[in-house]
Amino acid sequence: MPRQLREVVFVDGVRTAFGRAGPKGVFWRTRADDMAVKVVRELLRRQPQLPPERIGDVLFAATAQVGDQGLTLGRDVALLAGIPETVPGVALDRMCAGALTAMTAGAGEIALGAADIVVAGGVEHMGHHPMGAEVDFNPRFVAERLVDPSAVTMGATAENLHDRFPHLTRENADRFAVRSHARAAAAWSNGVMRETVVPMSVFTEEGWRLADRDEFLRPDTTMEALATLKTPFRPGGRVTAGNSAGLTDGATACLLAAEETAAELGLPARMRLVSFAFAGVAPEVMGSGPIPATERALAQAGLAMDDIGLIELNEPFAVQVLTWCDGTGVDPDDERLNPYGGAIACGHPLAATGVRLAAQLAYGFRERPHVRYGLTALCIGMGMGAAVVWENLAHGG
């Protein structure tokens, strides 16, 4: 017989600080799964009224599902975090949208009644597992011209966007990067990040230390400094280390619940999932993927971009953000867009990023009760995009 779907709410979301990938990074001697365990334990600590056995599933994403982020990551992390063995777990991969997909998959379980509460998140230790290092690309992709060879190099796809949209210049990209750093610096100084970033004790070459701040923050970034940087993906190109997100280690996790379960247990319901969509585009211009995904998510919700009062868009490359703005009619300087900075300033640990976007949106909603709807969106390697529309449950009406 027909069943009525249940509403899904976002309860809480946290992340580690994002560290520089490689031997000089703060997480170099820390396991990826231990980073994931840290954020899951913090969620449980912050919600003591939640009996862990009420969790219906633990969904965790990683792009490189090998080594210390291999096994069935959700199950691995759940057991290590002390969640009862009766609670199952799963690993999944949608590259940069891994954590976002963990959220939408978990939301589906809740909506259909298969679970009342889920933990969803992602982790990427790009120092231990460099992007593409353990991947055997099928030669047919190039030999049969299924994709352009540039599709496997994310920086090259960003250069392709500059080619396709020549009015989006390097100067435009650098200007957006400066904005991202300035907003991230302000977010750290005024306490925004202190609510979502979980300090973690880690062992380094200098001994034990506290990883409590993103390592890529450069609040003194200027247009003049960015103009001097090399273009590693193409001679005379426009994509630089300054207008891109750095290679990063980090983990994120969130709690989602059925609206009635949150009320039953006294869990804070911060925002409601309204709609979501994934879309495919040509792999060599993967950065354009969030445009059709946004259009589909808005159409499902019966909303227009003017109805969206807050936007958290990933920033793997500044030109990707500019392309999305160009395609959706949003001014890159719009105050709705990434008010706390983005990945250019904090980093982009691939599969982990989706929850960071949602957690920042939830914080922004609380600070802006006049805003009713918000959007989280990102591009995905090999030519995809994802977008989620959320409703602010603190909305004043």
Catalytic option among 96, 254, 325, 346:
96
The one catalytic residue in 254, 325, 346, 379 is: 379
Tell which phi-psi region holds residue 382, choosing left (phi > 0), alpha (psi between -120 and 50) or beta.
left
Contact 2, 39 (CB under 8 A): no
CA-based nearest residue to 251, from 66, 47, 11, 60: 60
For residue 394, the SS3 value is coil
The answer to whether 96 is a known catalytic residue is yes
**How many C-beta atoms surround the C-beta of residue 195 within 10 A?**
14
Summarize pLDDT for 36-67 with one digit per residue, the tens. Answer: 999 999 999 999 999 999 999 999 999 999 99
Q: What is the pLDDT of residues 103-132, one digit of tens each?
A: 999 999 999 999 999 999 999 999 999 988
Q: What's the CA gap between 266 and 115, in Å, rounded?
A: 17
H/E run at residue 92 = strand 89-92
The DSSP secondary structure of 137-170, one letter per residue, reads --THHHHTTSS-GGGG-HHHHHHHHHHH-TTS-H
pLDDT bucket at 1, cuts 50 / 70 / 90: low
Mark whether 379 is an active-site residue: yes
* Residue 89 pLDDT exceeds 70: yes
Kindly give, in sequence order, each residue whose CB lies less than 8 Å from that of residue 294, ignoring residues fewer than 6 positions away. Answer: 277, 305, 324, 328, 375, 377, 385, 387
181 is catalytic: no
Of residues 129, 162, 348, 370, which has the active-site annotation?
Answer: 348
Q: Identify the structural domains of the chain with CATH numbers, from first to last.
A: 147-191+274-391 (3.40.47.10)
Q: Is the pTM of this model over 0.95?
A: yes
Least confident of 126-140, 307-321, 354-368: 126-140
pLDDT value at residue 397: 62
